[in-house]
Structure 1
Amino acid sequence: MNKVLSALFAVFSIVFSTVGLSACAAESISKNETETSKVETVKTDSAKSTVPTERAIFGAGCFWKVQYIMSKVPGVVKTSAGYTGGKIDNPTYEQVCSHTSGHVETVEVLFDPKKTTYHKLLEAFWANHDPTTLNRQGPDQGDQYRSVVFYTSPEQKAEAVKYKEELDATHKFKKPIVTAIEPAKKFYNAEDYHQDYFVKNGQVCH
């Protein structure tokens, strides 16, 4: 890997090294469904105006940690913890944890393309989890914890594939990367108690 990319990984690793990742263990409360789209507008409280945003979805283990990490990337407007890639509508946390729904714990990221790039999000994604372990992150095991990039456009797919190939070619990780790169399916917001969990509770999964 070139020096610039290595430095970026080092920065992200240092910034988030104190953030640890729990396994499934809470009761469902409520959730809202979000439709799949690449470009959305988000109302800002201060300016009381709409900000054009692009949309990205990542799965990198327990979504408590992933949401916190992505929310700290400059240019990110909003993050939501939720479920993607499954075979049933409106999944509950229990269904996801029981492996009956096929969903992945993911984080939906809305970002301002004028202030950051999809490439920056990919940097944060790959620098802050182990993409070489299949269906596992630390002590958390199960297909809901798999490493996956859900792309929302052909451009995102191409960029994610290229980035993954560069990481493998430069042996950034000792083992081959198993991160899947798949088209985004419908994203369902997780229950309220999962949202911004680290901010509210000061802890993440492990």
Structure 2
Amino acid sequence: MTSCPIPTGRGLSPAQFPDPARDLAPASGEQVAVIAGGCFWCTEAVYRVVDGVIDVVPGYAGGTAETADYKTVCTGRTDHAEAILIRYDAGRTSYGQLLKLFFSVAHDPTHLNRQGNDVGRQYRSAIFFANDEEKAVAEAYIAQLEAAGAYTAPIVTTLEPLTAFYEAEDYHHDYAARNPYQPYIAHVSRPKVDKLKAYFPERLKKA
């Protein structure tokens, strides 16, 4: 991993991103969302501080179990994406609100198969939907953002059925928190979290 910068080429600032006009029906209890937006160190760091998020698990979505390991995925020759599985309390946050943060601060959805200098299909922008309703919410929000001119380039996020999620190796878990002075974390992951704190302080977990 080399670089996955804060999104550029915006038409709107993060604070101007609209709330999703369509969301999952109100629910309570634990739910799961799976998204991919470049390196999972970055996306995991963002969602770990979001109120209503119970846990974040880095891993690989797409592809097969036989190639679901970091060394093989990094070759770019598998169909995996570096992804995170978000366990969240649906009574405190929603699927649509998680998508809002995904598009507004967590990554750049206009970059095809890359985030910054991280290049390859494994770094693609993707939403792995578990059912038709999740797919519909994601489709509707992408259309809403494009209509609002959120970005000056087309959103290239793919919508893919969630067939399996393979948990990443132990050393990837909570990597940013455990390695705060590692250059990549200091210069790439931390600024994303700082942007979340600056634009959406009301979405943060209470100290």
TM over 0.5: yes
Equivalent of 1:191, from 165, 169, 173? 169
In the TM superposition, 1:36-47 aligns within 5 A as none
Secondary structure, in 3 states, of the residue corresponding to 1:193?
A: helix
Q: Deviations over 1:160-202 (max 9, x none)?
A: 0000001111111000000001111211110111000001001
Write out per-residue CA displacement over residues 134-176 of structure 1, whole angstroms, 9 at most, x where no aligned residue.
Answer: 0010111111000000011222111100000011111110000
Unaligned runs of 5+ in 2: 1-11, 18-27, 189-207
Is residue 127 from structure 1 mapped to residue 104 from structure 2 by the alignment? Answer: yes
Of the candidates 4, 8, 15, which is equivalent to residue 10 of structure 1? 15
Decide which of 7, 16, 31 is 1:54's aligned counterpart: 31
Q: Residue 78 of structure 1 aligns to a residue in which SS?
A: strand
Q: Which has the higher helix share?
A: 2
| Greater strand fraction, Structure 1 or Structure 2 | 1
The one-letter amino acid of 2:101's match is A
Deviation at 1:11, TM superposition (A): 8.4
Distance 2:144 2:171 in 1: 37
> Aligned partners of 2:29 and 2:166: how far apart in 1?
21
Whole-angstrom distance in 2 between the partners of 1:182 and 1:189 = 18
Percent identity over paired residues? 40
SS in structure 1 opposite 2:59?
A: strand
Asked if 2 retains the 8 angstrom alpha-carbon contact of 1:132 and 1:178, the reply is yes
User: Residue 116 of structure 2 aligns with which residue?
Assistant: 138
Shift of 1:88: 4.1
Letter in 2 for 1:167: L
Tell me how far apart the structure 1 counterparts of residues 60 and 81 of structure 2 sit (CA, whole Å): 5
CA RMSD for the aligned pairs? 1.9
Choose from 114, 117, 120 the match for 2:91.
Answer: 114
Matched residue SS, 2:29: strand
**What residue in structure 2 maps to residue 82 of structure 1?**
59
Query: In structure 2, do the counterparts of structure 1 residues 11 and 77 end up closer, same or farther at CA, with 3 Å as the change threshold?
Result: farther
Structure 1 runs of 4+ with >4 Å offset: none
- By how many angstroms is 1:52 displaced? 3.2
Aligned: 1:103 with 2:80: yes
Aligned residue for 2:152? 174
Aligned length: 162
Separation (CA, whole Å) in 2 of partners of 1:196 and 1:157: 28
| Letter of the structure 2 residue corresponding to residue 116 of structure 1 | T
Is 1:94 aligned to 2:64, yes or no? no
* Range that drifts further, 54-63 or 86-95: 86-95
* Counterpart residue number, 2:192: none
Structure 1 partner of 2:126: 148
